[in-house]
Every structure is written in structure tokens, then in C-alpha cells.
Copies of this chain bind each other. A is one copy, B any other.
Amino acid sequence: MHATIIETLIEKFEQLPGIGRKSAERIAFHILERMSKDDVASMAACLNEAKEKILLCPVCQNLTDSSPCKICASQKRDPSVICVVESPEDVSAIEATNEFNGLYHVLHGALSPMDGITPDDIKINELLLRLGDGSVKEVIMATNPTVNGTATAVYISKLLSPFGVKVTRIAHGIPIGSDLEYADKITLIKALEGRQIM
């Protein structure tokens, strides 16, 4: 058997999403055999620093190390359009298309009665607070095209009707049932372009 510290290192990586036993072993041995001590120290420091410094943007609720986040603070973005997504990964995917110039709102999940996720468990109130001053003209619902994501989009669109903003839904160019963050750029662009009034 291996020494305990190697086993512990393997287990740490095994707990990360998408990493099984074999991958965790391969990563641990890569770190021990092929990475320099400086590189490992820098990786460890990065983990701590990220966890220390990253907070939720008080406006859009995305992960950020500045308050508000760079997107919310940017003078070049159009503050009259808000794209509502489930997770920070989704912001990352849409930003990579370079086709969207508005702001975001990250819900951190979707409504799921089966899992006990209610409107209070995701960042819906924080979205409503952003609509008070009337500067927002359109809210694009870009939650995942799953049962929960669609239900969340419908629920929020009903909540938003008193505010008189246009509420649109990202087009279903994205294959139904899959995750938004895995869509390719072109599909994401088509989906943004083809959005429909809800």
C-alpha cells in the first residue's frame, strides 16, 4: 500500500466532480513526479486565495473578487438587458460567445419541488430588486432547457409581469435535456438571436 499522505492526496482529488479513482491517482502521481515544488505551492496558494477572496457580486450574484463584479461595473455593457442564468458556468459559456453585451443575473440553481428548492433558495428576490428603478427593459431567461429550468423561467416571467419589462426566453437551439454550459458557441449564439417573447 502507498503511504498515507499519497492516499490522502488521491482522496482529495477523488472528491472533485468528474474525477474517479483512476484519474485521481493519475493526477496525484503527476503532481508528485512531474510538477515542481514551486508549481505545487502556487496551486495550493491559488486554492486558498480564491476561496478567501471570491464572493458573490451584490448586484448579479456571480462569483467575483471585486464588488460589484467587472461585468456589472463595466461602462461598456448595456444595463437595460439582464440575462438570467442558473450558474456561474453559464455566464462563462455565454461570455465566450462575445455576442452578449448586457448584464447577468445568477440564480444559483433552479426551482425543484422534488429536491425542496423553493423560490427563497435561489436568487430571485435579488433579481426583483434590480428592476425597481425602471432602467431594465428586457430580461432574457437563459435557464437550462430542463423541466426545472423551464419551470423556473416560467415562474420568474410571471413574477416580472407587473414590472412591465419585456421577458424573453433563450431559443431552443440548445438540445433539450442537456446542460447549457456544454453548448457550443454557435448554438448559444443562435439561441440568443432566436429568443421569443414569453
Contacts and interface: CB of A to CB of B under 8 A. Distances in A.
Interface of A: 1-6, 8-9, 12, 16-19, 22-23, 25-33, 35, 37, 40-54, 63-66, 69-71, 87-89, 91-92, 95, 108, 181-182
A103 B37 CA distance: 29
A180 to B, nearest CB: 12
A91 B37 CA distance: 24
Contacts of A66: 3
A91 B41 CA distance: 27
B54 A5 contact: yes
A40 B51 contact: yes
A45 B37 CA distance: 13
Which 7 A/B pairs are nearest by Cβ-Cβ distance?
A44-B44, A3-B65, A40-B51, A44-B47, A9-B50, A12-B43, A16-B27
A26 B33 CA distance: 25
A40 to B, nearest CB: 4
30 contacts: A1-B95, A2-B64, A2-B88, A2-B92, A3-B63, A3-B64, A3-B66, A5-B46, A6-B50, A12-B47, A16-B30, A16-B31, A17-B26, A17-B27, A18-B23, A18-B26, A22-B181, A28-B50, A31-B47, A31-B51, A32-B50, A32-B63, A32-B88, A33-B63, A33-B108, A37-B51, A37-B52, A41-B48, A41-B51, A43-B47
